[in-house]
Amino acid sequence: MARSYRDITDAELAVMQVLWERGESSIRQICHVLYPGGGPSQYATVQKLLERLEAKDFVYRDRTQQVHLFRPALGREELIGRRLRSLAEQLCGGSLTPLLTHLVKTKALTPQERAELRALIEQSENTPRRRGSKG
Amino acid sequence: MARSYRDITDAELAVMQVLWERGESSIRQICHVLYPGGGPSQYATVQKLLERLEAKDFVYRDRTQQVHLFRPALGREELIGRRLRSLAEQLCGGSLTPLLTHLVKTKALTPQERAELRALIEQSENTPRRRGSKG
DNA sequence: GACAAGTAAGACAAATTGTCTTAGGGTGGT
DNA sequence: ACCACCCTAAGACAATTTGTCTTACTTGTC
């Protein structure tokens, strides 16, 4: 089993972005977005990227039709979470708290954002902590 | 001018962690931490990593003494900020807000953390928004 | 049965990354 | 003076990654 833990690369991410926007798509359709007016070379590039994404379990491939269809196996939010966790792993001893703190301290908040944040914190108050989730 | 924008790699990060903990250090001192009982090869590795870190402006090198001394040119917090921004750039159209939201929504907060967060939000209320900082 | 479009497989160079070797310089002890 | 030692400087090296492209084969359609 290939190491599925490897991250999404830049070119692969571009493909994912198209899938997130368009939903299930064929290679051809993705090509039209990424390389408008592109030829067979660009088509093959996208094909290869999707092959790698599938190997890493980041997209599902529907082979039932003649023309294969691809759809994301993880959403943008999940990827964000994954990257945040990886960042925390490397720089914060695995804890997400320093990231949260950093953002609140650093980022200039609009009054609206402040209100939304407060609301979210309220909300999380009612949500019981999930077992095993660590700080 | 070498592209100084390139990020810190894993091995380089290990060196940075030592510098953040110990402060200004010589190659030898870093070696003792990273490769206890290591030989000349390991020494050379650390040497090369520091050379690359210097080229990328992530450490300062004090050449006034016989034995050069190195100290971090950016702190852990700064690196965190840099990576968060890069993440936002790639996945959130440059805005840090989705990261903040994601963390608050996802992460299970202890009552204490909730309190601290609220305090930080309060605090940021008094701090005027910095010019040019974007959402 | 030939063509168009698709899939499958892999070649390829460039860049990155971690590691190691070698050469040379200055210092101190004897 | 000489030697041993520790340091810096420079670069060799293989493994891996990454984006791109070529080629060969398959299949449905007119």
Same structural domain, B87 and B67: no
Flag whether B1 is in a domain.
Answer: no
Residues B66 and B103 in one domain: no
Tell me, yes or no, whether B111 lies in a domain: yes
Residues B68, B26 share a domain: yes
Query: Tokens standing for B135?
Result: 């959402």
Same domain, B19 and B61: yes
Shared-domain flag, residues A92 and A68: no
**Measured between CB atoms, which of B87, B114, B127 is closest to A121?**
B114
Strand D bases near protein CB (under 7 Å) are 6-12, 17-23, 27-28
The CATH number of residue A32's host domain is 1.10.10.10
Residue B104 covered by a domain: yes
In a domain, B131, yes or no: no
Q: Within an 8 Å CB–CB cutoff, is residue B91 touching chain A?
A: yes
Closest residue of A to B78, CA-based? A102
pLDDT in tens, A69-127: 999 999 999 999 999 999 999 999 999 999 999 999 999 999 999 999 999 999 888 76
Domain membership of residue A29 (yes or no) is yes
Out of B91, B96, B114, whose CB is closest to A79?
A: B91
Contact status of A6 with chain B (Cβ, < 8 Å): no
Tell me, yes or no, whether B56 and B90 share the same domain: no
B67 touches A: beta carbon within 8 Å: no
Same domain (yes/no): B114, B68: no
Q: Name every chain B residue with its beta carbon within 8 A of the beta carbon of A110.
A: 129, 135
Label the pairing between strands A59-62 and A69-72: antiparallel
* Chain B residues in contact with A121 (beta carbon < 8 A): 104, 109, 114, 117-118
Same domain, B91 and B67: no
* Domain presence at residue A135: no
**Mean pLDDT lowest among A59-63, B31-35, B131-135:** B131-135
Residue B103 lies in a domain: yes
Q: What are phi and psi of B44, to 5 degrees?
A: -65, -35
Domain housing B115: 83-126
pLDDT band at B2 (very low <50, low <70, confident <90, very high): very low
Residues B67, B26: one domain?
A: yes
Q: Does A132 touch chain B (CB under 8 A)?
A: no
Distance of residue A66 Cα from the nearest chain B Cα, in angstroms: 32
One domain for residues B67 and B89:
no
Q: What would the DSSP string read from start to end of chain A?
A: ---TTPPP-HHHHHHHHHHHHH-SB-HHHHHHHHSTT--HHHHHHHHHHHHHHHHTTSEEEE-SSSS-EEEESS-HHHHHHHHHHHHHHHHSTT-SHHHHHHHHHHSPPPHHHHHHHHHHHHHHHHSPPPTT---
Q: What is the pLDDT of residues B35-93, one digit of tens each?
A: 998 899 999 999 999 999 999 999 999 999 999 999 999 999 999 999 999 999 999 99
* Together in a domain, B65 and B14: yes
Instruction: Give the pLDDT of residue B1.
Output: 39
pLDDT at residue number B3: 45
Average pLDDT, chain B: 91
Mean per-residue pLDDT over chain A, rounded: 91
pLDDT at B26 over 80: yes
Partners of residue B90 in chain A, C-beta under 8 Å: 13
Domain count, chain B: 2
pLDDT, tens only, B33-48: 999 988 999 999 999 9
Cα–Cα dist B132/B111, whole Å = 34
In a domain, A79, yes or no: no
Same domain, A61 and A89: no
